[in-house]
Chains A and B, each alone.
Chain A
């Protein structure tokens, strides 16, 4: 599961957050160290400060309840945030998906 800190991580945001961050399509971010959900979100917020607080709580750093993390057809939402991301995400073959719950709206 682990991989060296080399390539860029591909991230797909939900549409509302793409609008807020003024981006189209998927993002690619350099992540230092072993890529994990936490380190990817750290890099995401550093590059796009407007997203701070929209994916995880400002203070507790807990994932907002209506958001989920998926990669390689697996649900990573309930993994500890320092769990290394799958190799396919680290290599850039697969993206990390941040999805909003399909409810109401």
Chain B
């Protein structure tokens, strides 16, 4: 029978929630990496028992963890105990938590500056990994979206990381700026139909696409309108919060921007607004039904100054028409005195016949709907603030 494994990253550790295909009775394991911020965990489609985790701390920096047994045990891919950690020149070897921007003459780009909060230019500084995206086909290959914004790739199971510097260095970097959460590369989408195509999104720069496996990148923000930047239709500078795709229709993308829900039918070349009748079109998450590429989900948030759900009601909004026409999904969700947020990587969908939808809140609840959003139940109610939710469908 099919099973699901929900990977939850929180402010104070990781949790793994498992159930059979009914998604009714749940087993909870954790906290793993107790006390650390787990920005993201994701399993490899090529080897579902392999899971990568981004463990991070403002005090102690970045750590990458990997499990090869479905989350039962974890190791840091890298130098085994007892081996020297520095090479002949005294430089550290390529441990798994080492993310260094590529400034080499051969493949790198100069470490230029980006725009800071006050408008001045500020040097690029690595802070943490926001998102890990394992390859669709190679279990040892995984991509990492980092703050300050850049994309890295590991081809050895997370032991060492190399920047795909064509993105950071493609030319518009000095116009990128941090959002409230930092200048993060938070979304990575691999195209099932085209191994050379990758989409990413940066807050606050916008969405970008490569069609040559990461060597070169171009902004794909035509149609976005952001009234909080000097030129509302600028090529870059937009605070994109998340992007999502249904693998069956890889040219159709959906975006939750700072304000506005957007849709592209041509691989990001052009966007149009599909906020329609949403009560507010500010928000962070957006996701697409696994079996119906025209059914999409968002959780409207009151405003950029009030990061909690509108009117004290936790409502997921679903559109079965690819946007514009939205319905509130409330059954099983608190409809008064609720003031949680749902962060950008904290919604996921499984791929069972009856598509399951999952999301986690800053109040520590993780909700599951086993019926595409018609009704919801909390899997857990009292975790630390949820940073990310991913789900694996295991057959």
Contact = CB atoms under 8 A, between A and B. Distances in A.
Interface of A: 14-17, 19-20, 42, 45-50, 52-55, 57-59, 64, 66-67, 100-101, 104
Interface stretch (B14-22, B89-97, B201-209, B245-253): B89-97
Interface pairs A-B: 5 shortest CB-CB: A54-B60, A49-B79, A66-B59, A100-B59, A58-B98
Nearest to A101: B59
A19 B55 CA distance: 12
B28 interface: no
Nearest to B81: A49
Interface residues of B, number: 27
A30 B60 CA distance: 24
B279 interface: no
B57 A16 contact: yes
B273 to A, nearest CB: 37
Interface of B: 33-36, 57-63, 76, 78-86, 91-92, 95, 97-98, 100
A15 B35 contact: yes
B63 A49 contact: no
A50 B86 CA distance: 13
Contacts of A59: 91-92, 100
Given A49-B95, A52-B98, A58-B100, 7 more contacts: A16-B57, A16-B60, A19-B35, A45-B85, A49-B79, A52-B95, A64-B60
A105 to B, nearest CB: 8
Nearest to A45: B85
A58 to B, nearest CB: 5
Nearest to B97: A53
B35 A16 contact: yes
Contacts, number: 71
B79 A67 contact: no
A27 B33 CA distance: 20
A49 B100 contact: no
A95 B50 CA distance: 40
Contact of A52 (B34, B36, B97): B97
Most buried by B among A15, A50, A66: A50
Contacts of B61: 53-54, 57, 64
Contact of B63 (A45, A50, A57): A50
Contacts of B60: 14, 16-17, 20, 54-55, 64, 67, 100
Nearest to A55: B60
26 contacts: A14-B59, A15-B35, A17-B60, A19-B33, A20-B63, A46-B84, A46-B85, A47-B82, A49-B76, A49-B78, A49-B79, A49-B81, A52-B85, A52-B97, A52-B98, A53-B61, A53-B62, A53-B95, A54-B57, A54-B63, A54-B97, A58-B98, A59-B91, A59-B92, A64-B59, A104-B58
Given A16-B36, A53-B98, A47 B81 contact: yes
Contacts of A19: 33-35
Contacts of B85: 45-46, 49, 52
A94 B58 CA distance: 28
Contacts of B83: 49
A49 B86 CA distance: 10
Contact of A67 (B59, B78, B95, B98): B59
A87 B57 CA distance: 33
A67 to B, nearest CB: 6
Most buried by A among B36, B57, B60, B92: B60
A41 to B, nearest CB: 10
Contacts of A66: 58-59
Nearest to B78: A49
Contacts of B57: 16, 54
Contacts of A58: 92, 95, 97-98, 100
Nearest to B62: A53
A81 B179 CA distance: 36
Nearest to B58: A66
A50 B159 CA distance: 12
Contacts of A17: 60
A59 B93 CA distance: 10
A16 B81 contact: no
A58 B155 CA distance: 20
A28 B280 CA distance: 58
Nearest to B100: A59
A16 B61 CA distance: 11
Contacts of A42: 86
Contacts of A104: 58
